[in-house]
Amino acid sequence: MGKDAHAQILKSLALPCLSHVLLCLPHQYVDRTRALECIAHAPLNRPVMLRVHFRSFRALDREGNATRNRFPASIEWQLLLPDNSSVSTRMFGMTVDQAEAIEGKDSTIETQVIQTNGSRYLRGARLQRLTGRVDALYTGIPGKVSGEVISAVVEDQWSSDLAISEAAEEVMRSHVISASLAARSRSPVALLRAIHRPDTVEQGERALAFARQCAIDEVRHGAQAGMRNTLGPARFSIDEPLIAAVANQPETLSESQRKALNTIRRAINQQQSARILLNGDVGSGKTLVFCLAAVAVARASKGLAAILVPNEIVARQIHELTTARFADLKPQLCTAEAGEIDPEALLLVGTQALLHRTLTQPLSILVIDEQHKFSVDQRMQLVGESTHVIEASATPIPRSLALALFDGWIQARISGSPVAKTIDTHILRESERNAAIELVRHHLQEGRRCIFLYPRVNGKGSVTERAKALNERFPNRVAVIHGKLKPAEKEAALQQFRSGQAPIAVASTAVEVGVDVPDVGMMVISEAERFGLTQLHQLRGRLVRNGGRGDFVMMTAEATKRATLERLHALRKHSNGFDLAEADLKLRGFGDVLGDMQTGKTLGTFKLTRLVAEDFL
């Protein structure tokens, strides 16, 4: 390979030297030592070599119609195999002249055998000669470097004993990999040989599986090491203040709440800056759990505690609760209208406005409620070297869940709900809206309230437009609530809804309507495809807060993408927030927690590892 290809590899894979291309993992192997003579017993869905006779062909255009163009979209071949069976397949990138040159001749192709409804077909067929060895296949990075270029540079470097030695030294620098190799009495050179030049497909796949497991172990080790860097002798114990705070509560904590609190207690007592992910569905009592933890830390440390929440309504609710129960800490509400922080306040409860206040002292603990509504930078803005952090959510975002799964963060879970409730989740097209209206009639007859949420205040499919249509169906029973109303108008509409005078609320998603209305039986989300799973699950959790049966309806456009429908079906399938977060992790990936796994910029030794959620779940 020329200098240009070498430079492309170094830049695209972020390699410090060219020999490290031998740390790139292939994605599969193909046995090019021999060609199969039938497809009946060929392995499925993996590259194989076939001996074929090119019997006849026809050129096809992009629509699959026959064409006389000498440069067609594809060539459809009728192939004859040595066992006298025949099969047809398409080959792409071939001209009519090239097809005519091989028509009536025998040759070998590389292809995948797939099976559908009991019949076998060929996919991705291309001309390929036998090389006399098992070859590794590499996948490149779209727009940066191709798998063929990586393969060619690996070939170059494999011919150099110095390059192999340098790559082996890099492997041994990893404590995780060197320990695993020592346990198996295996050398790094033998591992690299099995990865790039295996004697059999099975040997290559075993080596690849070992390398992938090493990559997984390195990620876990790195997350744990990151936590260990913050470990140190605990500055205080929260045991006594936590026990006292729990004993003074009017309600009895559930067993799950106590377990979660105990997990938090152990983490805070063992290190200077615990990182905790608290998971609990809406109504599970996680607010009380994180409030008790914050109070215990503030009392034990004689330091400052803060609770950061996404909106003013929730901030006021938590401030009222903490003021009534923990007056000794002088809780202060921090919103856009509030003034500077009182030096005597040891517990702050606020919205994003808290991020713009000057703290009287470093925080001993920061609780972030509904962490998915804050960016990483926002969540860490108030965190000092010795600040304990609790991030709470019903459905943690994939990055936070990944951190918990990698053991970098400590996971505390509150399972179950204090009340028995069943919520049916529906996915309806806009053309099926009448089905939702019938459900509304049922809930109104049962004395429950219904909420319609829309992403826009004005225009087509907005709050104002749909409110008029609903008011025609249900005269004088519709309250309109959105962020553009004056505070007095908004409060009046909310009061109509709370009292039941107007049991249907038509609202914009900017309004946290229903947060303090326990008997909402139904919610209809328009343009649900625009929402994330976390937000949809949070909204669903607002239903039947006192127990019973509810309906959560997601309205989608007629032509909704398949990937979007998969997300919505995940919500319908999972009622537990943590299970849903795992499903979201599988669908969306890790976020940036693993670095860019598609390049050399990974946390591990091996490159192009392409780890997926299932590797950690």
Spatial distance between the Cα atoms of 329 and 222, rounded to a whole number of angstroms: 38
Domain with CATH 3.40.50.300 in the chain: 239-414, 421-575
Q: What is the pLDDT, as a whole number, of residue 35?
A: 96
Taking the C-alpha atoms of residue 402 and residue 617, their distance in angstroms, rounded to an integer, is 9
3-class state of residue 309 by DSSP: coil
Q: Name the segment(s) of the chain with CATH classification 2.40.50.140.
A: 34-127
Please spell the DSSP secondary structure of 413-433, one letter per residue. Answer: EE-S-SS-EEEEEEEEEGGGH
Query: Rounded distance, CA 259 to CA 257, Å?
Result: 5
Rounded Cα–Cα distance for residues 27 and 95 (Å): 30
Which pairing describes strands 47-60 and 74-80: parallel, antiparallel, or unpaired?
antiparallel
In CATH, which of 3.30.70.380, 3.40.50.300, 3.40.109.10, 3.20.20.140 is domain 421-575?
3.40.50.300
Q: What is the pTM of this model?
A: 0.58
DSSP for 148-197, please give it.
HHHHHHHHHHHT-HHHHHHHHHHHHT-HHHHHHHHHTT--HHHHHHHHHS
Task: Please check whether residue 24 is in contact with residue 147, taking contact to mean a CB–CB distance below 8 angstroms.
Answer: no
Which residues contact residue 28 at a Cβ distance below 8 angstroms, ignoring those fewer than 6 apart?
46, 47, 136, 137
DSSP3 helix / strand / coil % (the chain, rounded to 5): 40, 25, 35
> Which amino acid does the sequence have at 217?
D
* Fold held by 239-414: Rossmann fold (3.40.50)
**What are the residue ranges in the chain where pLDDT is below 70?**
1-2, 222-234, 371-379, 395-408, 417-419, 510-516, 577-578, 581, 585-603, 611-617
Query: Which of 136, 106, 125, 108 has its CA nearest to residue 25?
Result: 136
| CA 334/CA 423 separation, integer angstroms | 35
pLDDT of residue 592: 44
Regarding the domain delimited by 34-127, which CATH topology (the fold level of the hierarchy) does it fall under? OB fold (Dihydrolipoamide Acetyltransferase, E2P) (2.40.50)
Q: Order across the sheet with 119-127: list the strands.
A: 86-92, 74-80, 47-60, 106-116, 119-127
Q: Which of 464, 444, 422, 466 is nearest to 555 (CA)?
A: 466
- What contacts 286, CB < 8 A, 6 or more positions away? 260, 278, 279, 280, 392, 394, 414
DSSP-assigned letter for residue 595: B
Pairing of strands 548-556, 478-481: unpaired
Tell me the three state secondary structure of residue 139: coil
Tokens 């590389």 -> residue = 110
Q: Which residues does residue 57 pair with via DSSP β-bridges, in sequence order? A: 77
Phi/psi for 36 (5° steps) reads -75, 155
Among candidate residues 503, 515, 499, 516, the one with its CA nearest the CA of residue 444:
503
Q: What pLDDT, in 10s, does the model give residues 15-35?
A: 888 999 999 999 999 999 999
Instruction: Please tell me what DSSP assigns to residue 108.
Output: E
